[in-house]
Every structure is written in C-alpha cells, then in structure tokens.
C-alpha cells in the first residue's frame, strides 16, 4: 500500500512525469530479449576490475596490475590514462575505483590499491583526473588498511551513496585451504596469522572482513557519519565499520532512493556438510537496511553454524550461536560477544540450490549490481523500461548469468528471473547504468589471472520501437604470421523487426580497407594488431557494431602428445610409450627440452569446477601452493613476508639437491637464509605435494626442471584404484614472440580417468537433471532427445559400454553420438525397461546393462542421447548412475 500512496502523491505533483510512465509500453509487460542489444565497446583487458561511466558516455576502467584506461565514446578508442605502481600478487593490486559525487566540477577520483612500496597495507586515495589524465602527484591519502600482504580476499569495491558517504568493501584476508575449505579459525600460535579469520572478520576492532562507511575530507582523511555499527568511542571497536562479518564482499551497490546496501558475498569452497566442522560453502546476496553483523567466520548461507574446532587436538567443541556469536580467539582484539548474525537475502551452494534452483550449479562468485529506477535516468531512446523499476540486478562471475530480483515492501526476497538468458556474459566483473539509462557491463574474460582476449566492455541498450540489428562477428583464425589471410563471417547477424533488412559494412583496421560482403576474406600484409569492425544498418538507419582483434606477425606454436595408450582412460596398471613435440613458424627448430611436459596424478576430491577460481590446470604445483596458502608469505616476483619464488628459483637452479633440500625446509621450517624471519614447519602438508610445489618453483628459472620428464619415454600408470582420481598429462611451449606481437603459449592436455564414469559428472546436459537425494548422485532424463555430454572421449580399444540404470516405469534407449546430439550414431542400447534387469543378482535398486560398440578410432565429444516414444512425468523418469567403458 505504501508504494501506491507514494505513486498517487507523485502523480498529483507531477502530471507530466506520470504521463511519461503511462506511455511506457513495457512498464509492466516483460520485454522480449530481442529488444536489448549488447554492444561491444572495448576489449583485451588485463584483469579488469571496476568501471565508472561518465556523463558524456566515456568509461573509466581499472586493471588489477595498476593501469587506468579510458574508453572515449566519440572515437571508440581506449587508451591508458594513468598507471599506479602496485603489488599485483594474489588478489591485490588496483582493486577499486569511484568518482566523486561532484566529479563534473572537482574531477576527483578515488582509488583503492596495494602500493608496491608498502610491505603490508592497502590504501584508499583521492586523485585529480584532469584533461583525461590521472595526476599521480595530486594523491591525497584517505585511509590505509593494515593486512597480511599477499593473501586472499582483498575486496576493494568502492561506492558513494546519495549523502556523499564512501563505502569500501574489504575481505577477510584469510586463506581457506588449511581449514579444508571450512571456516578458517586456526588459533595455533605456530601458524601464520592469515589462517584465523577471527582476527579480521570476527574482530570488531579490525577493518578487514567488513564494509566501511566514511565521509572523505577535502584536505585528506575522513570523518565518521552517524549510524555506523559502532558509535565513535565504543571500546574495542572501529567506528568506520558499517557491515561486519564478511568473507569477500567483492561487489556491492547502494539503493539511490532509500540507502539500502546490497552486496555479493563470495563464500568458501567446501562442497559437503561435515559433522563437527560445519556446513558446505555458500555464496550470498545480502541486503542491509542499516548497520549489522553478517556472520563470517562463524556462519554461512542461511546462518548455518560452524563448529568451534580445535586444530591442535582435532576436537569439535561446540556450534556457534547466531544469536550471540562468541569470539574467544587469542588473535581477537575486539569484543568477545558479537552482534546477532543477520541472514542473507539469497544463498546458494555449488550443487543445485533447493531454495533457489533457478541459479543453477557449479562454480560460484556472487556479485550485486544496482537497483534500477527508470525515472532516475534521462528519457533517452535506449533507457531500460519501467518493467525493471525497483528491481535489483545481481550477477555471478563464475556462472556467467545476470538475474533481476524483486523485493517485498519489507525488503525481503519475493521473486527473481534471468536477465537476457540467451546472451552470453563472460565473467561479468562490474556493471553500471549510464546517465541515459543503458547498462554498461565489464567482462573479465575466460581465465583467472590472465590477459584475456575475450575480456571486454559492453553497453546494453533497449529499443522500445524499431530494434537495432544484432551483430555477430567471427573469424576462422585470429593470430598468425604475415601475410595472414582470415575468413570472416557475419553468421547470426540479423534484424528482428518484421520485414526489416540490414546492410553490412566491414572495416579491417587498415586505412581504406573495407568490404560490404556477407562473409569476406581479407589478407593482412604487415604485422600488427588490427581491430576488425562489422556494422549492420537497418532500413530506418539504426545501426549496431561488433569487433574482433586480429594479431598478425606471430603464429601460435603447435604442440602434440603422441600417447601410446587410450587418451581418455586407464585400464588398470600399465606402462605407456609417449612422445611430445612442438613446432613454431618463427622460432624455427624447437629443442624438446624447451617443452614443458608434466604428468600429475590428482586424487579424488580434486574438482576442476570447485577449486575456487581455478578453471584449468596448467601447473599442479602452483595449484597446491594456492591451496596451502603459501602465497600469503611468498609472491612469484615480489618479496612479501618471505622471499619471492623467482629469487628462490634463481638461487637453487644449478643445485642438483635443491628439490630434496627445499622439501625438507618447507616441512620442518627454518630461518637465516633470507633473513631473520622464521618460517614455521608444515609437517601437515603431504610430502609428494610439497615436491610438486618445488617442481613449480624451481621451474621458474629453469623450465626444464619443472617435471624432469623427458620429451619421450615410458610412463607407468600405477594409481588406478581410486574411481575418482585422474592423471593430468600436459605439454606446453611458449614461443619467443615476433614482430612486436607478444609470446603465445600453446598447451595440449590429456586427462586419463577411471573407466567407470559418473553420469552426474557430465560436462553438459540438456533435457536432463542432476539429482542428489540422500547422498546419491545420478541423472534423470526428463524427455525424449535429452542428452549428456562428455568431452574428449577416446573410443579406441572400447568394445562395450555398461550402463547402471533405474528405468522406473519408463521405456527408452541410449544412443551414443559423435560431436553433437544428432551427430554420427556410434552405438545404441536395446530398448531398456525395468524388465531389462538381469535375472541373477539383486532384484531392487540399480542394475547394469551392457551394450556393444563397433571398433572405432573416434576421439572427441560424446553425446549420450535418451530416446523414447513413451510419455515421461516428473514422477517417473529414466535414471542413469554410471557409464562403464570396457575394453
């Protein structure tokens, strides 16, 4: 009722404004996705972090390694307009940016960064941004945050509210790995302090693990606004704190109308609940209508409680109470009894969420965008419609989706729906509405900690009437030696308005080089980086563009692994012959010793999806370093508490006994080699894993030392008992670059797994659902034609496939198809029913049915398609547990 009374009052005072609302044909009707156009503006960023959209349509972008870039709307050109000298290891660097509310007059820009010159702090400073340049000499320091340099969860997001208060989100600065991805509350005195988040997130006298709210002073420093969590002068507290109990509040926003604070909380990586330790990990979307404590490190998800765990004795003492959380850590300098823990708005684990199943499953990294109010933006042709009024935009960096969330009058969860579900977003990192009501989205790109070619800045515009064309651009190749011939395609470019047509115009980044063909071929004669642009214009003059970068002058190396056995499976203990090789056009003949070749065995529990930010494995040793939290004290190139790994590698690169010496040093501790700082022993670390860590470190200065494996030989596969363990075989070569084009690294991988494969672990599925009742994991086929996808499967030597099924009352068969759901039929089962159960053996539960597969050398993506002519209901589905590939 409050909303309707407010609307009536506004209408009485502003007749024209309400008429404008009534003229919006999509005020209450959801617009079709085709009315939104995602326009690429700039790309190829090196870890982009935050954006600020200026009133003229220009966009400021910060990169984690210290650069400030400016996209100019008039020219479409992106340039570097400032660079800070930052400490770029782990999650530190240049993390946050916000323009002053009065930016148009004072040109003040606030940056949160890790100064390379400071050992253990991150800094919030104000700079002048004048004539499209960042004036480094104008720096005015606002606030320094003491921390354990080089660890985790730096946070760094910056936002102003309508009152001129500046909010800063700071993570818990704590490693999760040594706590088995439960809550890090290790209080042992011989451990690094970053294993205890009670010293930060649970500490009312510490600025970490919090969202701060301050008022920057013109002369530097800040004052404390009224209404923070702890009034000025409260013992054992910091008055800057507005929200406490955060793990990593990476992206947040403030509602422009009511001041509510929304943030995404990036949760821990645990995948299962465990008695005596606590719940599995959850990501959260939170809302705060005022100051409060939000639970970490004692609670996660819907205030699910962790246990007080004694790491010295391995005893579980008691579960924490959300009504009165108690911080008894010796590392705590704040209050012992914390405020009552507030529950989240939305929460979801790696698996499918029971409460919010629409959010999907897999990796997760929750972030919060803005609450949209149509009348806050100018009445432009691209402004989002009133349908999205008062809705919160949330997004997930890992799952690549954007949702809009509707709240009740009490700011509780009501409903949510996917925004632009047919549009791909590649790791959305930040988003902001521009003055004209269009939405700018910053995408990080595919891989964590990489200069991704598919990173980008995009603008999403809305078309109420005539829609802009949709532009798709692709190329058969984007990097190669000069002269370089590329076949371009406009496939997918269209105009969704009935009877409308588009004209195409290509620009190849070379003066005078254009084309109006649908799919032109162009040869780039000279080395360089070319921005190829495709523009589509409809009959009414509306146009849209997309671009792709082509790098000419350096051909990517080719790497091959000649593996003598099956390239997907191991069949018990066996010894396999192998040879790896590499070729590169510019580098000439490649010495096999320059090829980095590794074979690593990973035990069950090592999940490629659930390993935090890791999305691919390129160095097992470095991954283990990340797990153990070693980079909290050692950077790759930058000295932290201990020496950087590059220096260690250089020191020991010619010592044949270096690996065994360093393993002993890590496990037993010591001091004196690099200074007086004592490194505690790490006897809890597996010795073999420590050895793989040392392989990585020693390989920095001497790449041939990374694995010790020659480019050809025989390898014994002797770990075959674990049904979920696997071998990762990798060969990589990085060329030397050529003609001004940077070096290109090519990696070839083979993953050898057990021949019994869980259907639940499929790489993709459609028309099927992953089910996990009562600790079981299987797949339900819910319609004819539904399928599972398994990538990179080698069928050589495979004679039959045995299915573990529970058909219920359904009837159907499984087809094996190559490359696509309707690709070449390689094999199929008989028609399967509950009567297919073997007469011998158990007569209840799951049962196995084999079917033969003709001899084939196929190696590629396999689709398992369920086909039936019978109806399927939610009460009776065809269920598949495992697939066993048999020689």
Q: How confident is the model at residue 208 (pLDDT cuts 50, 70, 90)?
A: very high
Burial of 448 from C-beta contacts in 10 A (0-12 / 13-18 / 19+): middle
Average pLDDT over residues 177-205: 91
**pLDDT-wise least confident of 56-70, 544-558, 690-704:** 690-704
Q: Which tokens is 711 given? A: 């480019």
Using alpha carbons only, give the angle 766, 770, 776 rounded to the nearest 5 degrees: 155
pLDDT of residue 641: 55
pLDDT of residue 673: 73
pLDDT at 100 over 90: yes
pLDDT at 115 over 80: yes
pLDDT at 1 over 60: no
pLDDT of residue 782: 81
pLDDT of residue 486: 97
Using alpha carbons only, give the angle 26, 28, 34 rounded to the nearest 5 degrees: 40
pLDDT of residue 702: 67
Q: What is the pLDDT of residues 223-275, one digit of tens each?
A: 999 999 999 999 999 999 999 999 999 999 999 999 999 999 999 988 889 99
Q: What is the pLDDT of residues 11-49, one digit of tens each?
A: 333 333 334 444 899 999 999 998 999 999 999 898 999
For the CA atoms of 313, 319, 323, 327, what is the dihedral angle to 10 degrees?
A: 10
Residues of the chain with pLDDT > 90: what percent? 67
pLDDT of residue 258: 96
DSSP-based three-state secondary structure for 530: strand
pLDDT of residue 527: 94
Whole-angstrom CA distances from 134 to 114, 561, 811 are 17, 49, 68
Burial of 810 from C-beta contacts in 10 A (0-12 / 13-18 / 19+): buried
Angle, helices 620-628/687-701, rounded to nearest 10 degrees = 120
Burial of 48 from C-beta contacts in 10 A (0-12 / 13-18 / 19+): buried
Top pLDDT among 636 and 835 is at: 835
Nearest to 167 by CA among 240, 264, 109: 240
* Pairwise CA distance, residues 805 & 845, whole Å: 9
Give Cα 568 distance to the centre of its chain: 27
In the numeric block, the tokens 């005072």 are attached to 13
pLDDT at 2 over 90: no
The whole-chain average pLDDT of the chain stands at 88
Q: Which H or E run includes 689? A: helix 687-701
Neighbours of 13 (CB within 10 A): 9
Q: What is the pLDDT of residues 414-441, one digit of tens each?
A: 999 999 999 999 999 999 999 999 999 9
Phi and psi, residue 747, nearest 5°: -125, 135
**pLDDT-wise least confident of 110-119, 329-338, 611-620:** 611-620
Q: Which tokens is 260 given? A: 């509510």
**pLDDT-wise least confident of 129-143, 419-433, 583-597, 685-699:** 685-699
For the CA atoms of 27, 29, 32, 37, what is the dihedral angle to 10 degrees?
A: 10
pLDDT of residue 323: 97
pLDDT of residue 661: 82
pLDDT of residue 614: 36
* Pairwise CA distance, residues 341 & 318, whole Å: 17
* Pairwise CA distance, residues 155 & 161, whole Å: 18
Using alpha carbons only, give the angle 187, 172, 318 rounded to the nearest 5 degrees: 45
Top pLDDT among 745 and 325 is at: 325
pLDDT at 61 over 90: yes
pLDDT of residue 675: 61
pLDDT of residue 616: 41
* Pairwise CA distance, residues 803 & 758, whole Å: 10
* Pairwise CA distance, residues 355 & 304, whole Å: 14
Q: What is the layout of strands, in order, in the sheet containing 596-602?
A: 596-602, 726-734, 745-753
Average pLDDT over residues 280-292: 97
Q: How confident is the model at residue 607 (pLDDT cuts 50, 70, 90)?
A: very low
pLDDT of residue 824: 96
pLDDT of residue 294: 98
pLDDT of residue 678: 54
Phi and psi, residue 278, nearest 5°: 145, -165
* Pairwise CA distance, residues 330 & 458, whole Å: 48
Angle, helices 645-652/658-668, rounded to nearest 10 degrees = 140
Q: What is the pLDDT of residues 709-721, one digit of tens each?
A: 889 999 999 988 8
Query: Could you tell me whether strands 824-828 and 813-818 are parallel, antiparallel, or unpaired per DSSP bridges?
Result: antiparallel
Specify which of 483-492, 681-690, 744-753 reaches the highest per-range mean pLDDT: 483-492
Q: How confident is the model at residue 638 (pLDDT cuts 50, 70, 90)?
A: low
pLDDT of residue 10: 35
* Pairwise CA distance, residues 564 & 575, whole Å: 9
pLDDT of residue 18: 38
pLDDT of residue 705: 47
Q: Which tokens is 472 given? A: 């798709």
Cross-strand bridge partners of residue 303: none
Longest dimension (CA), the chain: 86
Q: Which tokens is 828 given? A: 């199929």
pLDDT of residue 126: 98
Q: What is the pLDDT of residues 324-364, one digit of tens each?
A: 999 999 999 999 999 999 999 999 999 899 999 999 988 88
Q: How confident is the model at residue 160 (pLDDT cuts 50, 70, 90)?
A: very high
Q: How confident is the model at residue 584 (pLDDT cuts 50, 70, 90)?
A: very high
pLDDT of residue 14: 35
pLDDT at 222 over 90: yes
Burial of 218 from C-beta contacts in 10 A (0-12 / 13-18 / 19+): exposed
* Pairwise CA distance, residues 162 & 254, whole Å: 9
Q: How confident is the model at residue 684 (pLDDT cuts 50, 70, 90)?
A: low
* Pairwise CA distance, residues 527 & 615, whole Å: 32
């Amino acid at each position: 009722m409050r909303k309707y009374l407010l609307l009536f009052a506004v209408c009485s005072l502003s007749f024209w404004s309400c008429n404008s609302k009534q003229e919006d044909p999509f005020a209450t009707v959801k617009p079709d996705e085709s009315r939104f156009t995602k326009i690429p503006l700039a790309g190829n960023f090196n870890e982009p972090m935050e954006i600020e959209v200026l009133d003229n349509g220009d966009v400021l972008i910060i990169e984690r390694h210290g650069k400030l870039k400016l996209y100019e709307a008039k020219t479409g050109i992106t340039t570097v307009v400032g660079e800070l000298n930052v400490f770029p290891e782990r999650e530190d660097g240049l993390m946050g940016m916000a323009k002053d509310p009065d930016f148009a007059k004072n040109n003040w820009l606030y940056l949160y960064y890790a100064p390379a010159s400071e050992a253990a702090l991150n800094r919030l400073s104000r700079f002048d941004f004048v004539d499209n340049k960042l004036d480094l000499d104008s720096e005015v320091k606002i606030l320094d945050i003491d921390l354990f340099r080089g660890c985790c969860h730096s946070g760094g997001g910056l936002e102003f509210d309508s009152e001129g208060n500046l909010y800063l989100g700071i993570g818990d600065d704590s490693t999760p790995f040594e706590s088995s991805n439960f809550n890090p509350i290790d209080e042992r005195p011989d451990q690094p302090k970053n294993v205890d988040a009670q010293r930060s997130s649970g500490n009312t006298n510490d600025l970490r693990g919090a969202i701060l709210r301050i008022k920057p002073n013109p002369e530097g420093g800040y004052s404390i606004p009224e209404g923070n969590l702890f009034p000025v002068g409260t013992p054992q507290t910091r008055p800057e704190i507005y929200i406490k109990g955060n793990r990593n509040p990476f992206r947040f926003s403030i509602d422009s109308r009511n001041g509510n604070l929304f943030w995404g909380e990036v949760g821990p990586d645990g995948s299962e609940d465990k008695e005596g330790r606590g719940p599995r990990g959850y990501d959260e979307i939170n809302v705060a209508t005022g100051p409060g404590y939000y639970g970490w490190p004692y609670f996660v998800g819907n205030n699910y409680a962790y246990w007080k765990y004694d790491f010295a004795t391995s005893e579980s003492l008691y579960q924490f109470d959300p009504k009165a959380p108690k911080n008894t850590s010796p590392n705590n300098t704040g209050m012992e009894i914390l405020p009552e823990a507030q529950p989240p708005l939305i929460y979801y684990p790696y698996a499918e969420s029971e409460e919010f199943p629409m959010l999907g499953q897999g990796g997760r990294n929750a972030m919060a965008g803005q609450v949209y109010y149509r009348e806050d933006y100018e009445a432009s042709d691209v402004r989002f419609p009133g349908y999205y009024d008062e809705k919160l935009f949330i997004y997930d960096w890992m799952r690549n989706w954007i949702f809009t969330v509707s709240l009740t009058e009490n700011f509780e969860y009501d409903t949510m729906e996917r925004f632009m579900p047919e549009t791909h977003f590649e790791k959305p990192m930040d988003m902001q509405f521009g003055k004209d009501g269009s939405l700018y989205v910053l995408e990080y790109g595919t891989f964590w900690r990489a200069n991704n070619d598919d990173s980008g800045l995009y603008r999403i515009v809305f078309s109420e009437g005539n829609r802009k064309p949709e532009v798709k651009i692709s190329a058969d190749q984007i990097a190669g030696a000069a002269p370089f011939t590329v076949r371009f395609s406009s496939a997918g470019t269209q105009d969704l308005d009935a009877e409308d047509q588009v004209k195409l115009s290509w620009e190849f980044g070379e003066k005078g080089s254009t084309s109006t063909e649908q799919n032109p071929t162009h040869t780039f004669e000279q080395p360089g980086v070319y921005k190829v642009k495709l523009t589509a214009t409809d009959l009414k003059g509306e146009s849209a563009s997309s671009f792709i970068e082509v790098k000419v002058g350096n051909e990517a190396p080719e790497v091959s692994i000649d593996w003598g056995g099956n390239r997907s499976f191991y069949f018990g203990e066996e010894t396999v012959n192998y040879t790896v090789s590499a070729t590169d056009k510019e580098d000439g003949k490649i010495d096999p010793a320059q090829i980095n070749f590794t074979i690593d065995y990973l035990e069950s529990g090592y999940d490629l999806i659930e390993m935090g930010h890791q999305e691919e494995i390129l160095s097992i040793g470095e991954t283990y370093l990340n797990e153990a939290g070693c980079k909290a004290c050692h950077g790759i190139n930058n000295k932290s508490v201990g020496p950087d790994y590059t220096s260690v590698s250089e020191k020991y690169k010619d010592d044949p006994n270096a690996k065994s010496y360093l393993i002993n040093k890590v496990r037993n501790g010591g001091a004196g080699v690099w200074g007086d700082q004592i490194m505690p022993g790490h006897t809890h670390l597996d010795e073999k894993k420590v050895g793989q860590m040392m392989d990585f470190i020693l390989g920095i200065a001497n790449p041939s030392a990374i694995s010790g494996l020659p480019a050809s030989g025989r390898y014994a596969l002797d770990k075959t008992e674990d049904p979920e363990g696997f071998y990762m075989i990798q060969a990589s070569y990085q060329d030397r670059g050529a003609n001004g084009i940077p070096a290109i690294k090519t990696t070839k991988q083979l993953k050898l797994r057990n021949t019994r494969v869980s259907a639940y672990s499929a790489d993709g599925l459609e028309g099927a659902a992953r089910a996990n009742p009562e600790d079981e994991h299987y797949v339900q086929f819910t319609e004819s034609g539904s399928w599972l996808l398994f990538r990179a499967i080698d069928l050589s030597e495979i004679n039959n496939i045995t299915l573990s099924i529970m058909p219920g009352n359904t009837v159907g068969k499984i087809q094996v198809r190559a490359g696509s759901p309707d690709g070449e039929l390689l094999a199929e089962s008989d028609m399967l029913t509950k009567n297919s159960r073997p007469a011998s053996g158990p007569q209840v539960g799951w049962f196995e049915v084999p079917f033969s597969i003709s001899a084939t050398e196929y190696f590629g993506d396999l689709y398992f398609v369920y086909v039936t002519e019978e109806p399927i209901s939610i009460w009776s589905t065809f269920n598949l547990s495992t697939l066993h590939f048999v020689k």
